[in-house]
């Protein structure tokens, strides 16, 4: 092989290596998680698809930029959930908006929860409850008894503490349950801020603290999946949008 041929091969190999090295970072960038904004929040919903989420076919969709969970008598849902599948969460601040597009229905935000029936994508654990008739909005519920079978763990209008002996005490918040109910909108968007840090959970709707829970019980849950509920047994449509979360671990 003469020198001219060897030089041509060396140049070609160098060019190929350069192309590979410049292409690799682009490929890796496509696999990165969503970036946090200046306040540390990451969007979990792109407004167009259910990428990052898993739900039963025929019950969950995206319409006009919002997540829609829907069932009726001809297409009844089991007790099922739209589950964020990319990671579990422990301590966080979640911002989300919800609206019932029907006069009836029941839903909620599952957090620190466990998948208990994979085939129907059913989860259990802490739930920030929501209700088409405003009966349960603003309460924290133990879905499927995963947190020790404690039912409604903290009522609207109350600050609740579960002790290390699994005993419950409650005091009133400044605004009563009735006053808080009147602040929840029907057939309109409600703005939720849900904060879980250590044993302390606060559930705020439309800028008003609905309930305050401190769970020091041995039954307490410390981390798990985030999910949105479509409750069995209703003719209903629940909608969600503007889903943003900031992880608080390490504070």
Alpha-carbon gap, residue 107 to 190, rounded angstroms: 13
Give the global pTM: 0.85
**Of 105, 202, 125, 217, which Cα lies nearest the Cα of 165?**
217
Alpha-carbon gap, residue 113 to 226, rounded angstroms: 7
User: Which pLDDT does position 36 carry in this prediction?
Assistant: 76
Within the chain, strands assigned E span: 42-43, 53-54, 60-63, 66-71, 80-89, 92-100, 106-117, 122-131, 140-143, 152-154, 158-162, 168-172, 190-197, 200-205, 208-215, 224-230, 236-247
User: Which pLDDT does position 46 carry in this prediction?
Assistant: 96
User: Which pLDDT does position 26 carry in this prediction?
Assistant: 30
User: Which pLDDT does position 39 carry in this prediction?
Assistant: 86
Q: What is the pLDDT along the chain (251 residues), one digit of tens a residue?
A: 444 444 443 434 444 433 333 333 332 233 335 677 778 999 999 999 999 999 999 999 999 999 999 999 999 999 999 999 999 999 999 999 999 999 999 999 999 999 999 999 999 999 999 999 999 999 999 999 999 999 999 999 999 999 999 999 999 999 999 999 999 999 999 999 999 999 999 999 999 999 999 999 999 999 999 999 999 999 999 999 999 999 997 54
The domain spans of the chain are 1-32, 42-247
**Which residues make Cβ contacts (< 8 Å) with residue 207, sequence separation at least 6?**
191
119: DSSP letter: G
Alpha-carbon gap, residue 235 to 72, rounded angstroms: 4
**Of 142, 163, 145, which Cα lies nearest the Cα of 154?**
142
| 41 and 244 Cβ atoms separated by less than 8 Å | yes
* C-alpha neighbours within 13 Å on the C-beta side of residue 34: 18
Angle at 184 between CA 96 and CA 192, to 5 degrees: 15
Class of domain 42-247: mainly beta
Alpha-carbon gap, residue 43 to 45, rounded angstroms: 6
């Amino acid at each position: 092989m003469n020198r001219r041929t060897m030089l041509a091969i060396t140049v070609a190999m160098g060019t190929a290596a350069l192309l590979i090295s410049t292409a690799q970072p682009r490929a890796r960038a496509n696999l990165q998680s969503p970036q946090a904004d200046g306040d540390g929040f990451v969007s979990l919903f792109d407004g167009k698809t259910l990428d990052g989420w898993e739900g039963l076919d025929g019950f969950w969709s995206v319409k006009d930029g919002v997540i829609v969970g829907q069932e009726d008598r001809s297409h009844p849902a089991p007790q099922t959930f739209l589950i964020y599948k990319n990671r579990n969460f422990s301590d966080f601040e979640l911002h989300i908006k919800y609206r019932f597009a029907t006069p009836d229905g029941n839903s909620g935000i599952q957090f620190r929860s466990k998948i208990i029936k994979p085939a129907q994508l059913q989860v259990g654990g802490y739930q920030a409850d929501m209700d088409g008739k405003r009966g349960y909005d603003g309460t924290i519920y133990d879905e499927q008894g995963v947190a020790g079978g404690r039912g409604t763990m903290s009522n609207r209008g109350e600050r609740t503490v579960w002790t290390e002996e699994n005993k419950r005490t409650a005091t009133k918040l400044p605004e009563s349950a009735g006053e808080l109910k009147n602040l929840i909108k029907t057939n309109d968007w409600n703005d939720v801020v849900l904060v879980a840090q250590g044993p302390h959970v606060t559930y705020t709707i439309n800028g008003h603290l609905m309930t305050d829970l401190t769970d020091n019980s041995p039954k307490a849950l410390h981390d798990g999946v985030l999910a949105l509920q479509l409750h069995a047994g209703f003719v209903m449509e629940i909608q969600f949008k503007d889903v943003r979360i900031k992880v608080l671990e390490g504070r």
